[in-house]
Each structure stands twice: as C-alpha cells, then as structure tokens.
Structure 1
Amino acid sequence: MSKFANTPQPPYYAVIFASERAKAGKGYEKMAEKMVELASEQEGFLGVESARDHELGITVSYWESLDAIKRWKEHSAHMVAQERGKKEWYKSFVLRVCKVERDSFFEM
C-alpha cells in the first residue's frame, strides 16, 4: 500500500503547511490525528501526506476545489486547532495553496 495520497487526475489543489514546533506541547499529536480524521470526512478532501523530524513538519492536504479548502479552513474544530497551534505548538509556520496542474508517480 502506498504512503502517498491517491489523488485524481489534475487539476486539483494542494494545501502545504510547513511548521516549526515550539515545544512538544501537550495534546499536539492527538489533535493532529483528529484533524486528519475530520478533514478526511469533508466534502472535496482527496488525501494527505505528512512528514516530521525534530525541527520541521510538512503536511500536504489535497482538495477538489478552493471552496472545499475554504470550508475546511472555517470548520469550527479546525479553527480551535489553528488557535491552539498559534498559542501553544508552533514557533513559526507557513501555509501555501497551490493548483496542481501535473503529477507523476513512480513505485518499484
């Protein structure tokens, strides 16, 4: 089974969230799991890929449309997680929204 999101043929959208954690912060892992679970239930969600080392985390979520991304951004539980992230968990972060025009895969 692939660790990559099973996305459709482009075009679709990617939300890239790169973060530097402030500290280990209580509740972070549980909240991150909950957010992936909730996002996967949202209309227009296509998948997610995530990686983290001791300094940098990158999560890329894939969406059918900009409207789907907007609805997720405004989801009440996601808004709570965003605020906690700013106050407790992140030293810094950057969010980028991109339109995927082309993709290709390789698997051995």
Structure 2
Amino acid sequence: MSGIAKTPEPPYYAVIFTSERTAGDNGYSAMGDRMVGLASAQPGFLGVESVRDEQGVGITVSYWASLEAIAHWKQHAVHQAAQKLGKAEWYQRFGLRVCKVERDQFFEM
C-alpha cells in the first residue's frame, strides 16, 4: 500500500481507521495485505492509503462508492475474523470514522 489513491469525482465515502498497535507483528502484516486484496475485489471499493509511524500509530483510509459498499465490506466473513484478531492481538486501541467526501483537490509535479 503506497501512494495516493486514485478516486473518482466526489461524492464518495472515506473510512478512516486510526490505530495504536501492540508489540510484534504476530501475523498483522500478512493479514493487512490480505484485507487490501479482499477489499479491492469488493464492489464499490475505490482505493486505500495507509501509514504507520515508529511508535505504532497508524492511519488507513479506504475509499468507497457508497455506504452500502462499506456495510457489505464490514460484513465480509474474513474481514470480521480479522477484526476479532485485531481486538485480541494487534491493537491497543483504535477508532473508526466514516465520512462523505464532497470535494477533493490534488497537486502533482
């Protein structure tokens, strides 16, 4: 996951997942890659951007065409299993925000 996601003209939705990790990988990286692959195959998925700092605080923003697409992803069985593992092993705490993107602007050299 690198770079700026290429999203369509607004409106669309952003799901912002902010987390503080526990120590060690414990399968986290592999599951993260799997989640991106599965999400990418979901109808309505538009892209993802993700960063994590040295202290373990991360922000992942996924972009979606509709609230319905977000709801379907939330119910995906493998995604639900990953959520349970996240609560049990990978995160000290996390927050989730869902936003409607009404305007965007980009710059590129």
User: What's the TM-score, normalizing by structure 1?
Assistant: 0.96
**Equivalent residue number for residue 95 of structure 2:** 94
Consecutive unaligned residues in structure 1, runs of 5 or more: none
The total of aligned residue pairs comes to 107
**Residue in 2 aligned with 1:52?**
52
Runs of 4+ in 1 over 3 A off after TM superposition: none
The aligned residue for residue 70 of structure 1 is 71
* Alpha-carbon distance between aligned partners in 2 of 1:103 and 1:80, rounded to the nearest angstrom: 33
Over the matched positions of the two proteins, sequence identity in percent amounts to 64
- 1:3 positional shift: 1.2
Q: CA deviation at 1:25?
A: 3.5
CA offsets 1:55-77 (integer angstroms, 9 cap, x no match): 21000000000000000000000
Superposition RMSD in Å? 1.0
SS at match of 2:107: coil
Deviation at 1:54, TM superposition (A): 2.2
Question: What SS is found at the alignment partner of 2:79?
Answer: helix
Unaligned runs of 5+ in 2: none
CA distance in 2, matches of 1:84, 1:20: 14
